[in-house]
Amino acid sequence: MKTPSFVSIVDQFDIRGAGLEISVNKTAARFAIAVGTLTACSLLVFAIVSNFIVGVLTDERVTFSSDTLAAASGYYANSPRLHARLAAVLEQERDSARAEDSAFRATRLSPHNFNYRVLLAAIKESRGDLVEAEQSLRAALALAPNKTEVHWQLANVLLRQTNLDQAIEEFRIAAALNPSLLPVTLNLVWRASGGNLDAVEAIASGEPGARLTLAQFLLRQAEVQHAADVFGQLKTNALLVSREAGAFLNDLVAAGHLRLAHDLWSAAIGDAANQLISNGSFEAEIPRDFAQFDWITYDNDYVKIRIGKGASRTGARSLRIDFVGRDTSRLENEIRQSIIVRPGARYRIDCYANAERLVGPEGPRVAVTTATSSEWIAASGPVAPGEIGWQHVVLEFTAPRTTNGKSPALFVTIKRRPRFSYDEPTRGTVYFDDFMVTELATGAAQAAASATAIAKSTRVHGG
């Protein structure tokens, strides 16, 4: 057996030593990694816990005292959310000096958050520092140019500084971004400007909804003609589908401006002739929310009412009334159209009726009533059952005079009133078509001709 040399022994020792060194180094690395991992985990856990605590403290659904928030903001001094929440609470407690300091800390820690600048501006405004409030809001606006609340708050600050022109521009942008703000905005600017029409006109955008809101506002301020001018500038397709447009006309009527409402309505539906009765042959579709001066119909327990194709004297459509056969059948205001006439003038109504299998004590009549009473001003003879073809129905009436000299609102209606508290059921169908209202000329000849026509109609219908 060969004895190992010194050199080989040393070599072996060195190799073993190297192995020991490698083993020791690996253990140290593993320890370092373990320590680093534990440290990172600890930091992560701390961050998670910190974020949780800050999240709870800044949750607006939970109430905390300013002392609690102040202690937390001292511990988490780099949390802009905590400083902002503390500022808001202090402002509610009317400690505006500390509130301003906390809000400023929030803006310094998070300079790109526009909300903190808006908060700071609100606090400065409450302290009367309007110039600094404006500066803070303009900084917020540079960060968030499309935020409604920034424009709105800036507009109010400018208004408090009596800078009306710049305030109007900010109000206009805020109302354009959020149309629900327009009514209150118009009211603010109207009062601040002393009722300046140009000022409120500048607030409303060109959108149909905004223009209608402006028209309604002006009407409430008794600026009737200006309101009508704004309404009249709108296009027909925007008016016919808008409930607000119909509501505006209803308000005009309720305020007694009947003819103006009628003229605006006629212009909107394209009735260039502006006839005394609209859609007399029932050929036009009736807009759901824009029927102020068109036919209004609805069913009751005795009749079903339809406008559509079927038996018609001219054109393709007519009004159809189906009596369902219940006793003591009535028709009151279920079919009506509002017409505008001259006080004291004499008028004639012509139309045609066609009875199909009509059975009952008495057929329906065409009548004229006022808008405030169901009493008849005048009525035609009843539609005769059993007569084949279209019957000519005619009546004349004198428009009542009014105390203010304005045009009275009258209803052209179709009535069926029982003569007694009980009568036999009415069954069958009656069609009406081709209504026309004509203002009669004065004079004896015209009066005689009218009397002859009325007498002839009464003989035909057995009235």
pLDDT of 33 reads 60
User: Each residue of 174-225: pLDDT tens digit?
Assistant: 999 999 999 999 999 999 999 999 999 999 988 999 999 999 999 999 999 9
- How high is the pLDDT of residue 27? 62
Above 60 in pLDDT, residue 449?
no
Phi, psi of 361 (to 5 degrees): -65, -40
Q: Does the pLDDT value for residue 366 go beyond 80?
A: yes
For the beta sheet containing 376-379, the strands, ordered from the edge strand earlier in sequence to the opposite edge, are 296-297, 335-340, 409-415, 365-370, 376-379
Q: Are the C-beta atoms of 330 and 302 separated by less than 8 Å?
A: yes
| Mean confidence (pLDDT) of the chain | 83
The pLDDT assigned to 165 comes to: 93
- Please, are residues 248 and 215 in contact by the beta-carbon 8 Å criterion? yes
Query: How much is the pLDDT for 100?
Result: 84
Q: How far apart are CA 186 and CA 188, in angstroms?
A: 5
Higher-pLDDT residue of 102, 322:
322
Separation in Å, CA 136 to CA 32, 122, 131, 166: 50, 9, 9, 16
Least confident of 51-65, 178-192, 225-239, 409-423: 51-65
In angstroms, what CA-CA distances link 144 with 21, 117, 148, 327, 436? Answer: 62, 11, 9, 70, 61
* pLDDT tens, residue by residue, 123-180: 998 888 999 999 999 999 999 999 999 999 999 999 999 999 999 999 999 999 999 9
Domains plus CATH for the chain?
55-269 (1.25.40.10), 296-461 (2.60.120)
Minimum mean pLDDT among 15-29, 278-292, 311-325, 337-351: which range? Answer: 15-29
Q: How would you list the strands of the sheet with 303-309, edge to edge?
A: 303-309, 317-324, 427-439, 346-359, 390-398
Q: Which residue has the higher pLDDT, 17 or 13?
A: 17
Q: Which of 73, 129, 65 is nearest to 97 (CA)?
A: 129
Give dist(CA 102, CA 86) in Å, integer.
7
Rounded Cα distance, 246 and 239, in Å: 8
Quote the pLDDT of residue 90.
82
Q: Binning pLDDT at 50, 70 and 90, where does residue 60 land?
A: low
Task: Report whether pLDDT(23) > 90.
Answer: no
The yes-or-no verdict on residue 276 having pLDDT over 80 is yes
pLDDT greater at residue 105 or residue 461: 105
Whether the per-residue pLDDT at 8 is higher than 80: the answer is no
Q: Which two tokens stand for residue 132?
A: 């600094």
| Residue bearing the bigger pLDDT, 71 or 168 | 168
Can you tell me whether residue 20 is helix, strand or coil?
helix
Residue 159 CA to residue 141 CA, distance in Å, equals 17
- Residue 367 phi/psi, 5-degree rounding, is -135, 165
Q: What is the pLDDT of residue 96?
A: 80
C-alpha distance across the termini of the chain, in Å: 153
Distance (Å, rounded) from C-alpha 366 to C-alpha 140?
Answer: 68
Helix ranges restricted to H, 233-366: 236-240, 243-254, 258-269
pLDDT given for residue 194 in this prediction? 94
Residue 12's pLDDT is 43
17 or 361, which is more confident: 361
Percent of the chain whose pLDDT exceeds 90: 57
> What pLDDT does 451 receive?
55
Instruction: Name the band, by pLDDT with cuts 50, 70 and 90, for residue 372.
Output: confident
- Lowest-confidence segment of 41-50, 115-124, 149-158, 419-428 by average pLDDT: 41-50
Do strands 335-340 and 346-359 pair parallel, antiparallel, or not at all (unpaired)?
unpaired
